[in-house]
Chain A
Amino acid sequence: DQQVKQNSPSLSVQEGRISILNCDYTNSMFDYFLWYKKYPAEGPTFLISISSIKDKNEDGRFTVFLNKSAKHLSLHIVPSQPGDSAVYFCAASDNAGGTSYGKLTFGQGTILTVHP
């Protein structure tokens, strides 16, 4: 039962253009969403996050959009750079608050390749 899905295994983009990575989820109890970037032989690196009470969060070249009614989120990278080439994971948490934060549920990842 895949609660978080990234349906595009890979994405190829030209340098300077926009990269859009998509993620769908099924569990309506998820209250926080995160994007991680992963290079080969390294652990996932936290990139950007969004609370379920918001619909947009921006950090430099990275913007995450959340559509709760559609249970869909996306990560926009503008402009894309060759150094952005990595695997991008969408993750979600269903912890309802407090300070004992629970597990993250991950999607399968999308391989982003940015061509010079």
Chain B
Amino acid sequence: EAGVTQFPSHSVIEKGQTVTLRCDPISGHDNLYWYRRVMGKEIKFLLHFVKESKQDESGMPNNRFLAERTGGTYSTLKVQPAELEDSGVYFCASSLLLAGKGYEQYFGPGTRLTVT
């Protein structure tokens, strides 16, 4: 079974540019999450989809960040325009929509975003 995949693995952009990150969850996982780790600190929650609906976007830092999950499959996270403080590693995770198993989130390898 394929795990969570993310693309690209690394992106370097200039301040003010736009970047779109993509996440493909594990097949059958209706829960999809985005997290970010900045400067080796803790991993922080950004938002949570259940299928195509945004369940919780309380962690989104500001309106420069836009996440979508059309059709309830893959998800994209767009940063527009990017700022220096957006640099970090963006992780996507997915889990089953199933009682007792949904807590266990499976993470992708992350996208390292560098804004210069």
Contacts and interface: CB of A to CB of B under 8 A. Distances in A.
A43 B108 contact: yes
Contacts of B56: 102-103
A93 B31 CA distance: 14
Interface residues of A, number: 29
A45 B99 CA distance: 21
A99 B48 CA distance: 13
Interface string A98-115: 111111111111000000
Nearest to A97: B99
Contacts of A109: 42
Label chain A's interface by main secondary structure. Answer: loop
Contacts, number: 73
Interface in A1-52: 2, 4, 32, 34, 36, 41-46, 49
Interface residues of B, number: 30
Contacts of B59: 103
20 contacts: A4-B42, A34-B104, A34-B105, A41-B109, A42-B110, A43-B109, A44-B43, A44-B91, A93-B103, A97-B99, A100-B97, A101-B102, A103-B45, A103-B59, A104-B45, A104-B93, A105-B45, A106-B35, A106-B43, A108-B41
Interface of A: 2, 4, 32, 34, 36, 41-46, 49, 89, 91, 93, 95, 97-109
